[in-house]
């Protein structure tokens, strides 16, 4: 049983993420945890029944949302709903760990759209501390499952086999063609493992380019090559850490027009 967590703020972008998660879930027996997180501004004299009513109202909205996508689901897919109060990013990461979720699927931006921003603040907060692979769906993206996937990296350590296991599973699930891009931005961007050992029995096209950063290298590659997905390792240091000051990712630093799968770096390096 594969487990997906899909948070929603009822926006069009979060609906696209849910629809995409269903496409993946239909491929194998799966459960989707569809959650909505809301904040309560506590006031003196506030009674508990107000929070209970708010939770019930949101769970009714979630039930209505499930009804609108029921026709997309097959017998492999089951959805569980829950509305909870609290900070969305914190709750998403906590619930992903509690349920042993395999993948988080989120829209790049929620209800508040900013044309200068690639990833909204909630997604940025999730990326900052998640230990769960996260699939990011761009705004207004309505494509199908990938036929061509780009795996892009700067450095591969001896832990790479474990790190990219979630990616290899999705690659197999989607039966997609693989391209591999090694972006070299510094002398530390090396490989401690052979690509052929990572992708056993998987044909792939390999390219090496120099760029100022991993996103810059990926953008340059996508300008010349059509890909349906991009997978990258979410390193504990690098561009993601630098952009965590505001939990927002601006398009001038990171802008990819297709779904992006981020797999966390080997946990031992974060200790």
Q: Say what percent of the chain tops pLDDT 70.
A: 82
CATH homologous superfamily of 148-270 equals HUPs (3.40.50.620)
Per-residue pLDDT reduced to its tens digit, 178-196: 999 999 999 989 999 999 9
Q: What's the rounded mean pLDDT across residues 119-134?
A: 84
Residue 226, both tokens: 């059509």
End-to-end alpha-carbon separation of the chain, Å?
A: 30
Per-residue pLDDT reduced to its tens digit, 226-247: 999 999 988 765 555 544 445 5
How distant is the alpha carbon of residue 119 from its chain centre? 11
Alpha-carbon gap, residue 183 to 208, rounded angstroms? 6
**Cα–Cα–Cα angle for 73, 95, 237, rounded to 5 degrees:** 110
Per-residue pLDDT reduced to its tens digit, 143-167: 899 999 999 999 998 889 999 999 9
269: pLDDT strictly greater than 80: no
Q: Give start-end residues of each CATH 3.40.50.620 domain in the chain.
A: 2-137, 148-270
Q: Torsions phi, psi of 26, nearest 5?
A: -65, -15
How high is the mean pLDDT of the chain?
Answer: 85
Handedness of CA 110, 112, 116, 121 (dihedral sign): negative
251: pLDDT strictly greater than 70: no
**Residue, of 49 and 67, whose pLDDT is higher:** 67
CATH homologous superfamily of 2-137 equals HUPs (3.40.50.620)
Nearest alpha-carbon partner for 10 in 59, 44, 52, 49: 59
DSSP output for the chain: -EEEEEE--S-HHHHHHHHHHHHHHTTSSEEEEEEEEE-----TT--HHHHHHHHHHHHHHHHHHHHHHGGG--TTEEEEEEEEES-HHHHHHHHHHHTT-SEEEEESS-SS--TTEEE-HHHHHHHHH--S-EEEEPTT----S-SEEEEEES-B-TTHHHHTHHHHHHHHHHT-EEEEEEEESSTT--BSS-HHHHTTT--EEEEEEE-SSHHHHHHHHHHHS--SEEEEEE-SSSHHHHGGGTT-EETTT---SS-EEEEEPPGGGG-
Q: Torsions phi, psi of 30, nearest 5?
A: -145, 160
Q: What is the pTM of this model?
A: 0.88
Cα distances (Å, whole numbers) of residue 107 to 138, 174, 264 = 6, 20, 18
Alpha-carbon gap, residue 111 to 95, rounded angstroms? 22
Per-residue pLDDT reduced to its tens digit, 2-57: 999 999 999 888 999 999 999 999 999 999 999 999 877 655 455 556 777 888 89
R_g (Cα) of the chain, nearest Å: 19
* 178 in Cβ contact with 203 (< 8 Å): yes
131: pLDDT strictly greater than 50: yes
């Amino acid at each position: 049983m594969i487990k997906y967590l899909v948070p929603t703020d009822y926006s069009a972008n979060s609906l696209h993420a849910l629809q995409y998660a269903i496409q993946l879930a239909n491929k194998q027996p799966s459960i989707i945890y569809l959650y909505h997180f809301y904040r309560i501004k506590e006031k003196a004299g506030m009674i508990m029944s107000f929070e209970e009513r708010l939770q019930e109202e949101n769970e009714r909205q979630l039930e209505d949302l499930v009804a609108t996508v029921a026709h997309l689901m097959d017998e492999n897919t089951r959805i569980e709903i829950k509305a909870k109060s609290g900070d969305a990013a914190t709750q998403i990461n906590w619930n992903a760990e509690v349920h042993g979720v395999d993948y988080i699927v989120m829209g790049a931006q929620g209800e508040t759209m900013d044309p200068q921003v690639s990833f909204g603040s909630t997604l940025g907060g999730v990326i900052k501390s998640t230990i769960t692979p996260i699939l990011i769906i761009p705004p207004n993206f309505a494509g199908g499952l990938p036929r061509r996937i780009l795996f892009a990296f700067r450095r591969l350590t001896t832990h790479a086999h474990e790190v990219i296991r979630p990616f290899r599973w999705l690659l197999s699930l989607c039966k997609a063609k693989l391209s591999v891009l090694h972006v070299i931005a510094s002398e530390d961007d090396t490989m401690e493992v052979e690509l052929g050992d990572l992708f056993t029995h998987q044909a792939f096209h390999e390219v090496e380019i120099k760029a100022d950063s991993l996103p810059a290298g990926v953008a340059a590659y996508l300008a010349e090559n059509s890909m349906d997905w991009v997978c990258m390792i979410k390193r504990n240091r690098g561009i993601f850490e630098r952009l965590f000051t505001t939990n927002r990712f601006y398009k001038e630093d990171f802008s990819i027009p297709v779904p992006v799968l981020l797999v966390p770096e080997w946990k031992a390096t974060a200790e």
